[in-house]
Structure 1
Amino acid sequence: MKNVLLLSGNENSSHLFLGEAKRTAETRHMPLNFSAASIQDLTPDMLAEQDLVLLVPRAVNQAEVTTLKAQVPTMTIPNDIYGWLNGQALVKFACEKLQLLPVAAV
């Protein structure tokens, strides 16, 4: 099971995505465990448990991104996925970044 953290500038925006991502991963039987947090709530222990951090667009400044990338693979969620809150595309994006099998289309 791979841990994927959705990280945002405030807690609400990443939690909007969380339920849809969890449902899609579960329905597709993908070995992904999604969680969400704001940058203010992020702890070193929480970060150490992650296999991938997905940033909400414009969530954190460049210095914070550089710090995160030094510790764990970190990617920004593409605007087209985030803007539509597309859970299926988010799971596919995470799978590609983690080099897991792709998600089948509905």
Structure 2
Amino acid sequence: MKNVLLLSGNENSSHLFLGEAKRTAETRQAPLCFKAAVMADLTPELLAEQDLILLAPQTANAADTAAMNTQVPTVDIPNDIYGWLNGQALVKFACGKLNLVPAAAI
């Protein structure tokens, strides 16, 4: 199981997206465990637990990502995936970034 952190500037949108991603990962048997957080909630311990950090478009700027100071792969979520809160596309995107193949095709 790989840990994926959804990082956004708005707690409401990240939690909506989190629900969609979790449902899709479970349905598609993707080995992903999603969590959501906002920049203010980040701790070194939380970052160290992650295998991938996905940044919402409003969070994906150089100042924010530089402040994280982590060795964890950090990737911007494409606007078309985030804008539609497309959990299926997010799971597929995360699997691709982690070189994973879910048990059920996405």
Structure 1 equivalent of residue 94 of structure 2: 94
Please tell me whether residue 73 in structure 1 is matched to residue 76 in structure 2. no
- C-alpha contact (below 8 Å) 1:2/1:50 kept by paired residues: yes
1:28 CA displacement: 0.6
Q: Deviations over 1:20-57 (max 9, x none)?
A: 10000001111100000000001110000000000110
Cα distance, 1:11 vs. partner?
Answer: 1.4
Q: Which residue of 2 aligns with 1:51?
A: 51
Secondary structure of the corresponding residue to residue 6 of structure 2: strand
* Paired letter, 2:8: S
1:104 aligned onto 2:105: yes
Tell me the distance in 2 between the aligned counterparts of 1:50 and 1:28: 21
C-alpha distance in structure 2 between counterparts of 1:46 and 1:76, whole Å: 18
Size of the aligned set, in residue pairs, is 105
Residues 81 and 60 (structure 1), Cα distance of their counterparts in 2 relative to 1, 3 Å cut = closer
CA distance in 1, matches of 2:105, 2:82: 20
Check the 8 A contact 1:21/1:91 in 2, yes or no. Answer: yes
Unpaired runs of 5+ residues, structure 2, are none
> So what's the TM-score if we normalise by structure 1?
0.90
Gaps of 5+ in 1: none
2:36 maps to 36
Alpha-carbon separation, structure 1, partners of 2:70 and 2:43: 15
SS of 1:53's equivalent in the other structure is strand
TM-score normalised over the length of structure 2: 0.90
